[in-house]
A and B are shown apart, each in its own frame.
Chain A
Amino acid sequence: MRDQHGIQADELVREYKGGIKAVDGIDLRIQPGEIYGFLGPNGAGKSTTVHMLTTLLPPTSGTARVAGFDIVKQGPQVRAAIGAALQEAALDPFLTGREHLRLQASLHGLPREERRRRSDELLERVGLTRAADRKIKGYSGGMKRRLDLALALVHEPSTLFLDEPTTGLDPQSRSALWSEVAGLAKGDGVTVFLTTQYLEEADVLADRVGIIHRGHIVAEGTPEELKAQIGRPTVEAVPADESQREAIADLLQKFGNPTDGDPLSVAVRCEQEADLADIIRALDAAGLHVAQIQMHEPTLDDVFLAKTGTSLEGAAEDEEATEEEEQEELEKVGA
Chain B
Amino acid sequence: MIGTVAQVLEIARRSVVRTLRQPAQIIPNVTFPLLLLAINSNGLRAATHLPGFPTNSFLDFFIPVAFIQGALFASGTAGVDLARDIDNGFLNRLALTPLRRVALLLGQLGGAVALGTIQAIVYLGVGILAGVRFESGVAGAVLLFVLAVLLSLGFGTLGILLALKTGSGEAVQSAFPLLFFLLFLSSMNLPRNLISIDWFRDLATANPVSYMIEAMRSLVITGWDTQALALGFLFTILMIVLGLVGSARLLKTRMART
Contacts and interface: CB of A to CB of B under 8 A. Distances in A.
Interface of A: 54-58, 71-73, 75-76, 78-80, 82, 84, 86-88, 90-92, 94-95, 99, 103-104, 106-109, 135, 151, 331-335
Given A55-B257, A94-B18, 19 more contacts: A54-B96, A55-B96, A56-B96, A56-B256, A58-B258, A72-B258, A82-B96, A86-B89, A88-B89, A92-B18, A94-B21, A103-B10, A107-B7, A107-B10, A108-B98, A333-B256, A334-B95, A334-B254, A335-B256
Interface in B85-140: 85-86, 88-99
Contacts of B167: 331, 334
B196 to A, nearest CB: 48
Contacts of B90: 90-92
B106 to A, nearest CB: 14
Nearest to A51: B92
Interface residues of B, number: 32
A90 B85 CA distance: 8
A84 B93 CA distance: 8
Which of A71, A79, A107, A335 lies at the interface centre, i.e. has the most chain B CB atoms within 10 A of its CB? A107
Nearest to A108: B97
Contacts of B179: none
Contacts of B253: 332-334
Contacts of A106: 2, 6, 10
A332 B10 CA distance: 27
B49 interface: no
Given A86-B92, A90-B93, A92-B90, A334 B256 contact: yes
B22 interface: yes
B98 A56 contact: no
B249 interface: no
Contacts of A135: 21
B45 interface: no
29 contacts: A56-B256, A58-B256, A58-B258, A71-B258, A75-B258, A76-B98, A78-B258, A79-B97, A80-B98, A84-B96, A86-B92, A90-B89, A91-B88, A91-B90, A92-B14, A94-B17, A94-B18, A94-B22, A95-B18, A99-B17, A103-B13, A103-B14, A107-B97, A135-B21, A151-B93, A333-B256, A334-B167, A334-B253, A334-B256
